[in-house]
Chains A and B, each alone.
Chain A
Amino acid sequence: MAAQSRAAQPPGRFSRLTLRQRFYIVAVLLLLPAVALRVFTAFYPFLQTAYLSLHKYNPAFDHDGPVFVGLNNFTRIGSDPVVQASIGFTLLFVLGATFFQLTLGLAVAHLLNAAFRLRYLARALVLIPWAIPMAVAALGFRWMFDDQFGIIPDLLRTLTGANVRWLIDPNNAKLAVVSVAVWKSTPFVALVLLAGLQGIGRDLYEAARVDGANAWTCLFYITIPMLLPILITTGMFMIVWQLAVFDLPFLMTGGGPGFSTTVIAQKIYLESNSLNYGYAASISMVLVGIVALVGAVGLYLFRRFDVSA
């Protein structure tokens, strides 16, 4: 009876819609959560950051709210030695670390691709540095590089007699931070490249050897060209990912000595922690610009080498 009485009722608004209209409504409803997520976690923060970058605003001192200052924050960046040094070190860190991660990652991937007993165990063990949380690695290496108590300076002294001060010499501190980043992320790159290596047919190498190619020729004329799509994708990923690095240098050196290992993200953190939201936002916009530039270069490389084919 209940079913009959429901059927007797006039059709609802939704029922009166055409199939196409219903399709669009359902599609919008299904997309809405994802769109809302992007709006609230990406578009709104980006627009708010862009707005703040043109204002002077520190809620502790600017009680009347943000004050429009045009491009003053960006002018200040041009004369701020800490920001300039941090941009320099960030680029050095990202480019240096990515280069060595790809180079060493390719070497490790080759080793792991060889046929030997326990290679599956070796592949698992190689991943250990990548599995260690960055904060743990940073604090661990801070002690290992410590000039008084650290094992690395001690080993160097014992083995070579060299008395290297790692974390109080600006250049050595930069080298130490980049080295830890390379140690930490090379296994990840190696794993990705290993997957690529396994997709290259053996017949290519066999044909090349018949033509007299040696290992280096095979590397430069077969392996690298065949891996180029993965190399560029992984390289881009590592660059963009590491442009926002913060935890490693902050915990390992505190950005010092001086501000020689300060990265852009740390400067943004320090400014926003001091509630200088306007200035922090303007430095963030500079970082966005750098990421966009790197992304554009990546897209160009994709097309230049036709890697999508």
Chain B
Amino acid sequence: MGKEEQSKGVKRGISRRMFLRGTAGSIAGALAASGPGKFMTQGMFAPRLIRQNNTVIFAIQSFAHEAIQSVLPQFEADTGLTVQLEGGPVTGNEMLTAYSPAFASGTSPVDLFSDADDSSPTFMGAGWVKPLNEIIPQETWDDFPPSMQDHIRGFLSIDDVPYRIPHEFAVGYFFSRQDWLSERGLTVPTTWDELVEVGKEVTDSANGVWGTTDALIKPALLYVYVAYLAVQAGGKVFEFDDGTAQALQFLYDMIHTHKIFPEESLNQDYTAQNALYMSDKVWFMRQWPFFQGVAEGNAEWYAPEKLIISLPPAGPLGSKSWIGGWGYSIPTYAPNPDGAAALIQYLTSNAVASQLAAQQGFLLTPRYSILEAMADTGDELITAMGLYAENDVFAPRAFHPRVAEAQTVVDDMASLFLTKQASLSEVLEQGKQLIAALDQ
């Protein structure tokens, strides 16, 4: 039998041509079935875009999910929409890493998200989040007190157009061990001088007991404390001015000269700081509001007199603490912008915001409606908010268009000075130069 006859006699299952035709037909069919226009323009992101638009994807840190879920049934019943909660990044830097690639390519994996102070200016500047002035009713904006209005105008807006609405009110509170102070006949320090004086009296470094401490590890945490001291000194931290110099010198002195502040704090995060306080090693310290919940959760250790919130010790400008916090934003390329708008209106409405605030400190702000709803609850944080508001403690967070980078500069410069790698004048000079380079 010749080759020709052999080839005639063999029955092939599928020819090459048929295979290619079939493959091409399948791809064309899939494109046609799933919206060829969107596929052509959005490529791999299309599956998210072509999903049913009755779903709203909302990203927020997972510890807030329980509170959010408690108010969603009403929203879903009213609108017919389904809300899908996703865990969100926990820092501004992570936020930039997680969302920038998608936003820069004209897509968004979420419809609504909780955004940080550090990342928000970048997203706003790039036009990657939607203006909220026409989405959020004026009644809601008016519900914020003047101290927060300044923050909204300065940090959450461009040309007075808001792009983010706060759901958290982060302020550094000054916690102290009233039980120990009373026992020793001492009072909570009210000025920087008293902080040093009392600190020296109570510090027992041989046994690891310190007047005060904070979390000063890089990245970002050292900035928080330096900025806290800088507002008390009347400094503008991104300008490396005289007030900032006073703040850096005061922190240096607490650590190296007066030795009331452990040097190890330079490698300490919030978990370690809290652990130190709750292992009875610290007399007083600045910490974010979440510490109240952490301490109360430590039932074996907690007692109200161990955790009294007082006014921050006053620096040259007075008793100050800067405010910041997370807020809701809608990505410009949100797949379901109408659903996102409906959800943000619902979550920030006076009634629902109060319900959320009662359940989760991350969703608590000093809005009039919230303070009114929680007035009789005896909540320590609400009481502290009132105390700080009465004494004009709240100061706006220092703003820079490239805030994450500017904070890194402060972090680096402060770390160089506090670890004795550079003098104060050197870090001030270098800090100014690095900030100037950001502005170019």
Contacts and interface: CB of A to CB of B under 8 A. Distances in A.
Interface string B264-279: 1011100010011000
Interface in B87-136: 93, 96-97, 100, 104, 122-123, 125-128
Contacts of B143: none
Contacts of A257: 218, 266-267, 415-416, 418-419, 421
Interface stretch (A125-133, A142-150, A204-212): A142-150
Given A258-B412, A258-B415, A165 B125 contact: no
Contacts of A4: 8
A168 B218 CA distance: 11
A81 B363 CA distance: 40
Contact of B419 (A82, A170, A255, A275): A170
A148 B262 contact: yes
Contact of A76 (B96, B126, B264, B437): B437
Interface string B200-234: 00000000100000000111000000000000000
A60 B421 contact: no
Nearest to B433: A79
Contacts of A3: 8-9, 11
- Most chain B beta-carbon neighbours within 10 Å: one of A12, A259, A260: A259
B122 A256 contact: no
A215 interface: no
B125 A147 contact: no
A4 B7 CA distance: 10
B4 A275 contact: no
Given A7-B8, A61-B401, A148-B268, A258 B421 contact: yes
Given A3-B11, A61-B401, A148-B264, A273 B97 contact: yes
Given A257-B419, A259-B412, A60 B126 contact: yes
A134 to B, nearest CB: 18
Contact of A149 (B104, B272, B422): B272
A258 B419 contact: yes
A81 B421 CA distance: 13
A63 B267 CA distance: 39
Task: Tell me the dominant secondary structure on chain A's binding face.
Answer: loop
A111 B419 CA distance: 42
A88 interface: no
Contact of A256 (B93, B100, B402, B415): B415
B96 A274 contact: yes
A170 B267 contact: no
B264 A147 contact: yes
A106 B52 CA distance: 61
A258 B416 contact: yes
A258 B426 CA distance: 13
Given A256-B218, A275-B100, A270 B264 contact: no
B404 interface: yes
Of all A-B residue pairs in the complex, the 3 with the closest CB atoms, nearest first, are: A60-B126, A258-B416, A257-B419
23 contacts: A59-B104, A60-B122, A61-B402, A76-B437, A81-B434, A82-B412, A146-B264, A146-B272, A147-B264, A147-B267, A148-B272, A165-B263, A165-B264, A170-B419, A255-B218, A257-B266, A257-B418, A259-B412, A270-B405, A273-B97, A274-B96, A275-B100, A275-B104
Interface of A: 3-4, 7, 12, 59-61, 63, 76, 80-82, 146-149, 165, 167-170, 253-260, 270, 273-276
Interface of B: 4, 7-9, 11, 17, 93, 96-97, 100, 104, 122-123, 125-128, 208, 217-219, 262-264, 266-268, 272, 275-276, 401-402, 404-405, 408, 412, 415-416, 418-419, 421-422, 430, 434, 437
